[in-house]
Amino acid sequence: MASLLALAKKWRTESAKTAPETVQPFGTITEFQVYPQLRYADVEGIGTVTIDQTGNMVGASPVERCTYRGETTWIPLELIRNIRLDPFVVPTEGKVGRPPKE
């Protein structure tokens, strides 16, 4: 089972190696905004996550605050796919399916 925190740590470790030096440390959240309604998205290797905030992070902007199985962390938007307001995935053709089992 994949861990959201492990994914975030791996990404930060790899990205910090090539990040330019800045006044604020890499990974510092500089601004955030709470969404009025929860959003859902897919993170490869993790599954469907819940998103409740968006923000800016030194070294990676924008970022989304994601929660998966009790773990909450900021994930760069480049690692997030298919952001939506409904947790269920509706196929574009054929039968309506259920979300994948986790």
Write down the pLDDT at residue 13.
84
Global pTM?
0.76
pLDDT tens across the length of the chain (102 residues): 578 888 888 888 887 777 667 677 888 888 999 999 999 999 988 999 999 999 999 888 799 999 999 999 999 999 999 999 988 866 666 555 566 665
Write down the pLDDT at residue 1.
52
Write down the pLDDT at residue 95.
55
What is the Cα–Cα distance from 83 to 78, expressed in whole angstroms?
12
Burial profile 36-56: b = 16 or more Cβ within 10 angstroms, e = fewer:
eeebbbbbeebbbbebebbbe
